């Protein structure tokens, strides 16, 4: 039998070692808006340029990435109107409206010499100043991101990165240490409510489902963008899909379901 506690801890520790090895990370937004504006072509061009220049590059984090440049794709970073976006860490430089033709300069100036390419920075229209990244762009500094906190910062296709950020620890806890009643009570106490407009207390909803008799229960994740022009469900599902799966697992534990579906129309 797999010891889940040890496995999650080991995965997180191994990932922590791997993520510390590259000298830099270049994170290209691969959300729908940026992809529509050519982000994947920018990613491919960047990879080719780094290889041409004989710079060590890793796409999937592996232990041998010492001193390399780690290039990754993220979900939506939120600032879609300025995409394609490209973030360079650890400096936290955010380049906006990046095109394939910008890649040579990004590599030559920033990745080789550490110089910022001013023309690719976001200019704050109220002050006229260039903003280096999310720490000084008003769009980001005015937000407190909770559900979207990891969206745009992690590789959504790498489960290890989600686990590294405490992913699946709560699911492990509810399955190994809590009863269904305790889960419902904990969620009720947290004050979590539905975000569809009615604001119904989630713990109450789960408890009502829990006490329903029946041989089989399902978890249905409603990922439908019911409001015109809404993309918040897509942002979470594309940018941090494991958080959706973990939430479904926790809800399933609370109500006694053993099967789940995600509902999306487009
Ligand atoms: S799709 Fe790239 S910022 Fe939203």
pLDDT in tens, 147-172: 899 999 999 999 999 999 999 999 99
Which residue has a Cα nearest atom 3 of ligand 1? 80
**What does each of the 266 residues of the chain score in pLDDT, given as a tens digit?**
445 566 889 999 999 999 889 999 999 999 999 999 999 999 999 999 999 999 999 887 776 788 899 999 999 999 999 999 999 999 999 999 999 999 999 999 999 999 999 999 999 989 999 999 999 999 999 999 998 999 999 999 999 999 999 999 999 999 999 999 999 999 999 999 987 788 999 999 999 999 999 899 999 998 887 777 777 888 999 999 999 999 999 999 999 999 999 998 86
- C-alpha to C-alpha distance for 40 and 32, rounded to whole angstroms: 11
Q: Which residues line ligand 1 (CB under 6 A)?
A: 29, 31-34, 76-80, 83, 85
Contact 253, 180 (CB under 8 A): yes
Q: What is the pLDDT at residue 6?
A: 66
Q: For the segment 232-246, what is each residue's pLDDT rounded down to a tens digit?
A: 888 999 999 999 999
Looking at residue 144, the DSSP 8-state letter turns out to be -
The atom number, within ligand 1, closest to the CA of 235 reads 4
Looking at residue 85, the DSSP 8-state letter turns out to be P
Distances in whole angstroms, Cα of residue 70 to Cα of each of 15, 116, 121, 167, 206: 13, 18, 21, 22, 42
The atom number, within ligand 1, closest to the CA of 84 reads 2
Q: What is the pLDDT at residue 1?
A: 45
- C-alpha to C-alpha distance for 28 and 155, rounded to whole angstroms: 10
Torsion angle of alpha carbons 139, 144, 147, 149, nearest 10°? 70
Q: In the numeric block, which tokens belong to residue 138?
A: 């008003």
Q: What is the pLDDT at residue 225?
A: 79
For residue 33, how far is its CA from the centre of ligand 1 (angstroms)? 5
Contact 76, 32 (CB under 8 A): yes
For residue 240, how far is its CA from the centre of ligand 1 (angstroms)? 13
Q: Which of 27, 42, 82, 83 to mutate to test the pocket of ligand 1 (most atoms within 8 A of CB)?
A: 83
Is the four-CA dihedral 68, 69, 75, 77 of positive or negative sign? positive
Cis previous bond, 90, omega within 30: yes
For residue 22, how far is its CA from the centre of ligand 1 (angstroms)? 25
Q: In the numeric block, which tokens belong to residue 42?
A: 């920018």
For residue 117, how far is its CA from the centre of ligand 1 (angstroms)? 21
Distance of CA 261 to the CA centre of its chain: 21
Distances in whole angstroms, Cα of residue 68 to Cα of each of 59, 209, 256: 10, 50, 46
For residue 165, how far is its CA from the centre of ligand 1 (angstroms)? 22
Distances in whole angstroms, Cα of residue 245 to Cα of each of 8, 12, 34, 196: 16, 18, 25, 19
Please, what are the domains in the chain?
4-163 (3.40.30.10), 174-263 (3.40.50.11540)
Q: Which of 37, 75, 77, 156 to mutate to test the pocket of ligand 1 (most atoms within 8 A of CB)?
A: 77
Q: What is the pLDDT at residue 114?
A: 93
Q: Is the ipTM of this complex over 0.85?
A: yes
Q: Which of 38, 74, 78 to mutate to test the pocket of ligand 1 (most atoms within 8 A of CB)?
A: 78
For residue 100, how far is its CA from the centre of ligand 1 (angstroms)? 17
Nearest to 251 by CA among 216, 211, 214, 220: 220
């Amino acid at each position: 039998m797999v010891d889940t506690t040890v496995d999650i801890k080991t995965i997180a520790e191994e990932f922590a070692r791997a993520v510390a090895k590259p000298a830099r990370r270049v994170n290209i937004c691969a959300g729908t808006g940026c992809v529509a504006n050519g982000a994947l072509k920018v990613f491919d061009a960047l990879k080719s340029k780094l290889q041409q220049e004989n710079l060590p590059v890793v796409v999937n984090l592996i232990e041998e990435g010492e001193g390399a440049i780690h290039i990754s794709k993220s979900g939506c970073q939120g600032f879609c109107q300025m995409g394609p976006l490209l973030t360079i860490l650890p400096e936290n430089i955010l380049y906006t409206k990046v095109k394939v033709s910008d890649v040579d300069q990004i590599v030559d100036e920033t990745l080789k010499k550490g110089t910022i390419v001013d023309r690719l920075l976001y200019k704050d229209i109220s002050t006229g100043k260039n903003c280096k990244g999310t720490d000084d762009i008003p769009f980001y500094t005015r937000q407190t991101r909770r559900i979207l906190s990891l969206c745009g910062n992690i590789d959504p296709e790498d489960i290890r990165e989600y686990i590294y950020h405490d992913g699946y620890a709560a699911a492990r806890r509810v399955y190994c240490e809590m009863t269904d009643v305790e889960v419902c009570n904990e969620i009720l106490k947290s004050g979590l409510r539905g975000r569809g407009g009615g604001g119904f207390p989630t713990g109450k909803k789960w408890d009502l489902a829990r006490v329903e008799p029946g041989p089989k229960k399902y978890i249905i994740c409603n990922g439908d963008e019911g409001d015109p022009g809404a993309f918040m469900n897509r942002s979470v599902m594309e940018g941090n899909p494991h958080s959706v799966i973990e939430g479904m697992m926790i809800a399933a534990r609370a109500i006694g379901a053993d099967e789940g579906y995600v509902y999306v129309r487009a």
